[in-house]
Amino acid sequence: MRILPDKVHYAWWIVAGSAALMFVTIGVGYYGLAVFLRPLQEENGWSNAIVSGATGWFFVLGGITGFVIGPGVDRHGPLRYINAGVVLMAVSVGSLMFISEVWHLYLAYTGQALAYGLAGAVAINALMSRWFVTRRAWAMSITFTGISLGGMVLAPVGTWLIERGGVELAAPILAALVAVVALPMSLFVLVGDPASVGLGVDADAPDASVQNVALSDEVQLRSWTRAEAMRTSSFWAISIAFVIVLLAQTGFLVHQIAFLEDRLGSRNAAALALSTTAFGSIVARLVVGRFADGMDKRLLTVTIIIIQGLAVLGATLIDNRITTYVFVLIVGFTIGNVYMLQTLITAEIFGLVSLGAVLGTMTLMSQIGSGLGPFLVGWAEDMTDSYRTPFMVTGLATIAAALLILLARPIPSDPAPPDAN
């Protein structure tokens, strides 16, 4: 039973509910990886590669889960998957308090990964794409702010809890927070489709100023199979670019606290830097989201990705407290928009009817990249005893990947067969 208030169009309650849900589920499940990385190493005497390997497994399995549920999200809607993901996330995060063996760690991260895939990008993006078309970027920018707020608020809270009582204190409290905040949102606020409650898209007020042929019914309501999408160059341009970008981005983000703890002198200072990154992502996403609906998504994406690569290089090479905070703030400006723009580009080219299947396939690939990033950075740090080399490589790779986005072009409504002249 949902209540539809008269003063605020229910589409905006969908946005608020999704943001609150992502605040705790992704805020704990994603940013929590960086918070728990060093404590799990220290408490159990494990190497960086072991814990980073579990983090990599989290992203790979999360991507597989998104791939598997994609067609089901298109057919049945996202809510059943979101509900299951919220419950599983709370249980899995809580189980971290019992970890004493390596297999315990991998089992707990398996549960978190499944939850991340069920309640994460594929389901939420499909939900938002059903509710918004010409205002999609603006709605998504607000929704994804929940993730950044999770990093800005919950990373320092989790770090503070660990310093007071270790993982045994932080894990159950964060798990309870997921259950108390996210479950009511998924059960009593979210609605899978505006038509099911007699409403229209874009809060019944499409933005007439947005003149984009990619948002027409011909494109948005076109049905794609995975095989059809994968025969297009646009699919591979987007997929390969974001595999590289998210490998680099996640490798930097997950190891950011461990990297900056040594430079800044304390774990709390490093957690503050992570919060600065999250704060930057909130500000930039809202600014970009307000204007992105009327902009060229490809050029916008290329610009943001190049800025991210340069900021990572700056944070790595310039050992200064003030400039460190400036560079991680700039990284934050780009992080949230990278995720959002991947969805926006995909939705504009392949539409919303098959978005779950197409985006789920891309997410599987990009999550493999996200999974490899923390592991490769951790392995390289073990080998070189420094984060300098791995972060240099990821920064340069990010800049190179940006150019691939230029190959993602609109697809004709009636494309010729692959073997046509």
Domains of the chain: residue spans and CATH: 10-193+212-407 (1.20.1250.20)
Cα separation, 216 vs 214, whole angstroms? 6
Give the mean model confidence (pLDDT) for residues 185-198.
90
* pLDDT at residue 4 is higher than 60: no
Q: Is the dihedral of CA 139, 141, 142, 143 positive or negative?
A: positive
What share of the chain has pLDDT > 70, as a percent? 93
Report whether 280 contacts 331 (CB < 8 A).
yes
Phi, psi of 418 (to 5 degrees): -60, -30
Helix-helix angle 79-94:167-188, to 10 degrees: 160
Does 277 score more than 80 pLDDT?
no
Confidence class for position 135, pLDDT limits 50, 70, 90: confident
Q: Mean pLDDT over residues 277-286, rounded? A: 78
Mean pLDDT of 51-64: 84
User: Using an 8 Å Cβ cutoff, are 149 and 74 in contact?
Assistant: no
Ranges 76-80, 170-174, 259-263: which has the least confidence: 259-263
Sign of CA dihedral 25, 287, 309, 345: positive
Measuring CA to CA, how many Å separate 62 from each of 31, 66, 187? 15, 6, 22
Dist CA 161 CA 60 (whole Å): 28
Orientation angle between helical segments 233-254 and 321-350, nearest 10 degrees: 150
Predicted pLDDT at 413 = 61
What are the C-alpha distances in Å from 97 to residues 88, 174, 276? 15, 11, 27
Side chain identity at 109, as an amino acid letter?
A: Y
Structure-derived torsion over alpha carbons of residues 416, 129, 337, 19, reported in degrees to the nearest 10: -160
SS3 state of residue 249: helix
Residue 201 pLDDT exceeds 60: yes
Predicted pLDDT of residue 3: 55
Model confidence over 297-337: pLDDT tens digits?
Answer: 888 889 999 999 999 999 889 888 888 888 888 888 888 78
CB of 395 within 8 A of CB of 248?
A: yes
For residues 32 and 90, the model is more confident at 90
pLDDT-derived band of residue 191, with 50, 70 and 90 as boundaries? Answer: very high
Instruction: Decide if pLDDT at 417 tops 50.
Output: no
Closest CA to 304 of 402, 203, 161, 179: 402
